[in-house]
Structure 1
Amino acid sequence: MGTLFRLFPQTQTGENSLPAEIIEISSPAGSIGPGPSDDRMYVIFPVDKAQEYGLHEDENGYPYVYLPPWDGPVYAPAMPDDNGHFLHYDNPDDPAFHAAHTYASIRFTLDIWERYFGQPIEWYFHKFYQQAEVVILPKFENAQIGRGFIEIGTDVNKQDGSLSPFTLNFDVIAHEVGHGVLLTLVGEPEQGRETAEFLGFQESSGDVVSMISALHFDSVVDQVLESTSGNLYRANHLSRFAETSSIDQIRMANNNSRLSDFTAGWKDSHLLAQPLTGAIYDILVDVFHEELVRVGAISSTLEELSDSLEGSPEYEQYLQADFEAAYAAAPELFRESLLYARDAVATLLIDTWARLSPNDLHYTDFHHAMLKAEKALFDGQYRNIINVNFIWRDIGSATVGPRLPKDKDEKHSAAGHSHKSEYDHAEHDHAKQDHEASEAEQTSGLVANAAGRRGRVRPSFAERYWQARAG
């Protein structure tokens, strides 16, 4: 038997937060040590760790890289019970629960993608560190993965000062693991061969890893289907990433972004990721719909109408009632079809990633690799779906322009089929790689983080909050 933990599928600051689920990870009961810790990672909550790992400057302005291990004192670790499980940690105000939750989020995500891959996925930094040091760092208003570490901080709402610890945000942690998975399977570009689209690909892949992983929670599958009746172009948990409150959600997989939006240039790799993420989400939805037709849950007429109205304002107006009637008649078929689409797309992604080179990467390379993967796995069954969605996103016909300087405190808009939100990207984007660092560091794979802040450490509401929690 594996080891049991309680895991929140969704951040607990959301209006419709889901309760914690009991999940089983692959590590046998009794094999996980204090921290929690195992042969892949160990979780610590350092006392007075002054700054996050990564690139910093000394007092003379010279850059240096700060890497594990932490050799200072740590707060008491989470401990297994007499049976080797961690179910006795169930209080969100207990720092040990945060440690257990962080560990379980990482291990659960790795388990999912290792099953799809068919073998263990080593850390991309395994030649330097066999274990990842997983650091709970509440003063760090970010989350990041880098050489030998994963650091998890806290989101501070700049409007009302409310706090959302990333240690309880499965989406943010799974996104970090996604970066690690991609750096292992695809690799890092050689010096001078890193493209803008490689950076967008990394961000997109982190979001997709998180999205697919979330569909392994029963409560997420239930919530998605019950709130949409299978019309996944309605706003739903599955298509939202890095949500920290009911209104503060960062990126939408369900979006209308095209690569041609960036022909004049780009400012942020997280936004540049949106056309690729949107294409993959649309492929997931289309595979789901085709499976619904195959099992007789919806008519081919409804599926064709859905395709023709996709992206239009009339989509929900004309189709929602039909989806609701079909779902009410056969909810289990909808559930089975969604799980089939989840696994089909995840398997397709694993095979696609295995065919990619990180050097000089463009989204057209991803498109072509996915077609080859689809041929090997499905013998052309979804070829048209893939082509239609990449072509609609102008992938293959548009060229990304140069990188442009960001305006100070610039805000961006993330638009979906039925949702639009404004957000402050500098303060709230929890996707990973900080591409404000030097080119040498970008290509070294030392650090990939969420909000893009390096060498900036200051007292915060979050620090005082966590100190109080730690007693």
Structure 2
Amino acid sequence: MSQFLDALAKENGTKFLIYPQNKKLRGFEQPELIYVNQPPGSIKAGPEDDKTYVVDAKDKLQYRFQGEGPPYLGARYPSVEPNKEGHFDHIRPGTRAFSCTVMYATVRRVLDIWEDYFGHKIQWYFYRDFSKLELIPRVEWNNAQSGYGFLEFGFSHNSDGGIDHSNPYCENFDVLGHEVGHLIKNSTIGWPESKNKETREYRAHHESFGDLVAIVSVMHFESVINHILKYTNGNLFSLNELSRMGELSQATEIRRAFNDKKMSCVDSPEEEHILSEPFTGGAFDILVEMFQHNLIERGLISEELGKRAYDAHYGEVPEVQEEFNQCYHGKEDEFQKALLDARDYFGKLMATAWSKTSPDNLSFGKVLHNIIEADRELNEGKYEKVILDCFNWREIIPATDDSRTLLYTHVVDKLAPFSTDKILHQDFE
């Protein structure tokens, strides 16, 4: 959300504790206080509000087949109660109750952020059948999934491939934020009107959408912003936590937004996660370029340094990093403000572009065309050259509805048959 609305939430919102990143990563071992943009006392026990509710199910296995889903009617643990002031930050980490509150708060926080960028309330795509999203934080499963009217999360893998009960997926902000991104995409872009209008790039963009929602959302943690800037000194064209999606350990993540993938290098275009990487990488480059433009405009780095950083961002260049170190020292607050401004413009840019995007015969080029149109609408095309350059390097060029769609095919989800009515989306095997 914008910095203005974020400040309002801190004044008037309800308090929760959340881990900004996987709690097993150095620097993120302790949860951080956040504010959900709803007044204290408005969130009921559960937690539950007008959009979501938590069910702490006992010994539940995952929903497996089409038609399975909410409402869950099995045995459950008691709902988590707010304190006398209406807050939930008294719930301690390591408990089942904490998994309930952190899952609720993460979903609500991501939704708050993106409703602000979209400029309107987001109506769940399943609203005709379910008025609220069902959240199940601890399922006996070493995976996680989103589906028609629900999110249910298990646990990460342990060393022998079993369930690591000490590390619930629902407490990993990146992983959960990515899945909320899928729900937002389903609720804003939707599905093709028929199977013969579904493309590989539609499925891949579904993954990019989730990645980009998670990236922008995690940038709303002050600790994450401070951590990134501290260890990069503002040179974000380097491998850092911002670009690593769904980190599972200090050295392992599910996908990287910071990548060197081009369309011609995609060796498995039928696999949507792999096909998504050029688009996600190009969009991430735009975000970083916007940050660098802010730094240049504010006299914090030179234009020449910004160009060298971009040109060298897939290799280690000590001289570039050393210059960033010198520029950053003593200007930490100015660098942070430049990054937050880039975050907010990028979020608004993508939300505006996605609002223009049709799911029918979707191609990356069509989404790119909408990003350019959004930049013209929001800022008179200030970043058009940056946007074109970043995606051109990825071999993605603007396209219109009259342009030929690339990589046209119908893709069936490997884990559950595709349905325009009810889709079971599994992400983490």
TM-score scaled by length of structure 2: 0.91
Three-state SS of the structure 2 residue aligned to 1:23 is strand
What is the distance in 2 between the residues matched to 1:89 and 1:286? 40
Which letter maps to 1:124?
A: Y
Three-state SS of the structure 1 residue aligned to 2:22 is coil
C-alpha deviations, 1:391-442, integer Å up to 9, x for none? 10011399548799xxxxxxxxxxxxxxxxxxxxxxxxxxxxx92145542x
C-alpha deviations, 1:74-98, integer Å up to 9, x for none? 01221100111011112x2210011
What is the distance in 2 between the residues matched to 1:43 and 1:278? 34
What is the distance in 2 between the residues matched to 1:309 and 1:134? 43
Q: 2:53 aligns with which of 39, 42, 46?
A: 42
Q: Which residue of 2 aligns with 1:12?
A: 23
Contact 1:356 1:366 in 2 (8 A): yes
- The alpha-carbon deviation at position 184 of structure 1 amounts to 1.2
Q: Is 1:186 aligned to 2:213, yes or no?
A: no
- The alpha-carbon deviation at position 250 of structure 1 amounts to 1.5
Q: Which residue of 1 aligns with 2:423?
A: 446
- The alpha-carbon deviation at position 445 of structure 1 amounts to 4.1
Mark the CA change 1:307 to 1:233 in structure 2 (over 3 Å): closer, same or farther: closer
Three-state SS of the structure 1 residue aligned to 2:378 is helix
What is the distance in 1 between the residues matched to 2:372 and 2:408? 26
Structure 1: any 5+ residue segments left out of the alignment? Answer: 56-63, 405-433, 453-471
How many residues are treated as equivalent by the alignment? 409
Q: 2:171 aligns with which of 164, 168, 173?
A: 168
Contact 1:106 1:174 in 2 (8 A): yes
Q: Which residue of 1 aligns with 2:332?
A: 331
Mark the CA change 1:439 to 1:189 in structure 2 (over 3 Å): closer, same or farther: farther
Q: Is 1:364 aligned to 2:365, yes or no?
A: yes
What is the distance in 2 between the residues matched to 1:104 and 1:225? 26
Q: Is 1:203 aligned to 2:207, yes or no?
A: yes
Q: 1:77 aligns with which of 76, 79, 85?
A: 79
Three-state SS of the structure 2 residue aligned to 1:444 is coil
Q: 1:435 aligns with which of 396, 413, 421?
A: 413
What is the distance in 1 between the residues matched to 2:309 and 2:238? 12
Q: Which residue of 2 aligns with 1:52?
A: 62
Q: Which residue of 2 aligns with 1:270?
A: 273
**Structure with higher RCO (Cα < 8 A, 6+ apart):** 1
What is the distance in 2 between the residues matched to 1:278 and 1:377? 23
What is the distance in 2 between the residues matched to 1:261 and 1:340? 33
What is the distance in 1 between the residues matched to 2:317 and 2:212? 24
Q: 2:287 aligns with which of 279, 284, 288?
A: 284
Question: Which consecutive segments of 4 or more residues in structure 1 shift more than 6 A?
Answer: 401-404
Q: Which residue of 2 aligns with 1:99?
A: 100
Which letter maps to 1:345?
A: F
What is the distance in 1 between the residues matched to 2:87 and 2:223? 22
Q: 1:217 aligns with which of 216, 221, 237?
A: 221
- The alpha-carbon deviation at position 54 of structure 1 amounts to 4.6
C-alpha deviations, 1:14-48, integer Å up to 9, x for none? 23425211111112101111111111111011123
What is the distance in 1 between the residues matched to 2:120 and 2:410? 38
What is the distance in 1 between the residues matched to 2:188 and 2:317? 38
C-alpha deviations, 1:290-316, integer Å up to 9, x for none? 0000111101121122233333x2x53
TM-score scaled by length of structure 1: 0.83
Q: Is 1:254 aligned to 2:231, yes or no?
A: no
Three-state SS of the structure 2 residue aligned to 1:329 is coil
Three-state SS of the structure 1 residue aligned to 2:317 is helix
Contact 1:259 1:400 in 2 (8 A): no
Q: Is 1:237 aligned to 2:241, yes or no?
A: yes
What is the distance in 2 between the residues matched to 1:308 and 1:2? 43
Q: Which residue of 2 aligns with 1:407?
A: none
Query: Percent identity of the aligned residues?
Result: 34
- The alpha-carbon deviation at position 332 of structure 1 amounts to 1.2
Mark the CA change 1:18 to 1:47 in structure 2 (over 3 Å): closer, same or farther: closer
Q: Which residue of 1 aligns with 2:8?
A: none
Which letter maps to 2:62?
A: E
What is the distance in 1 between the residues matched to 2:49 and 2:245? 28
What is the distance in 1 between the residues matched to 2:168 and 2:257? 23
Contact 1:207 1:241 in 2 (8 A): yes
Mark the CA change 1:18 to 1:234 in structure 2 (over 3 Å): closer, same or farther: farther
What is the distance in 1 between the residues matched to 2:68 and 2:406? 37
What is the distance in 1 between the residues matched to 2:407 and 2:86? 51
Which letter maps to 2:121?
A: P
